[in-house]
Amino acid sequence: ECNRPSFVVSGDAGKITISENGKVTPPSHQHSEVLIEFAIDYLKNNKKQGLMKCIGRCMGYLQIAAEIEALASGADKDAVVREALLREFDNPPFKKVPAYWFHPGLTYLKGRI
């Protein structure tokens, strides 16, 4: 069993909202780190529900963590920060990127910030 984060993330009206102890709090680097650790723990401990389902769920958690990290960095308010963050994030897992490769996380993040 995974330890869930002490906060709740929701996507009200297309905007990330984080609530802790019933109070809305601004996205922080710590929120992102906790969500990443949760995704890793979830992937390790929930394989019996089906590996593809587990991978898909974890990819979703990691996309949200990336969005929270971007918001905590101010990427939604500063175009220079946004472009630098997106360049850094565009980091495929291949030495030589296949012609058909598209980065689903990057596509998501570009649309969100």
Give per-residue pLDDT as tens, 49-76. 888 889 999 999 999 999 999 999 999 9
Q: How many angstroms separate the CA atoms of 108 and 18, rounded? A: 19
Considering the domain boundaries, does residue 102 fall inside one? yes
Number of compact structural domains in the chain = 1
In a domain, 30, yes or no: yes
2: in domain: no
Q: Which domain covers residue 70, as residue numbers? A: 7-112
The span from the CA of 63 to the CA of 86, in Å, is 13
Does some domain include residue 52? yes
> Is 1 within a domain?
no
* Whole-number Å distance between alpha carbons of 12 and 52: 27
- CA-based angle 42:48:52, to the nearest 5? 70
What global pTM score does this model have?
Answer: 0.85
pLDDT tens track, the chain, 113 positions: 678 899 999 987 778 999 999 999 999 999 999 999 999 999 988 878 888 889 999 999 999 999 999 999 999 999 999 999 988 988 888 888 888 887 778 888 888 88
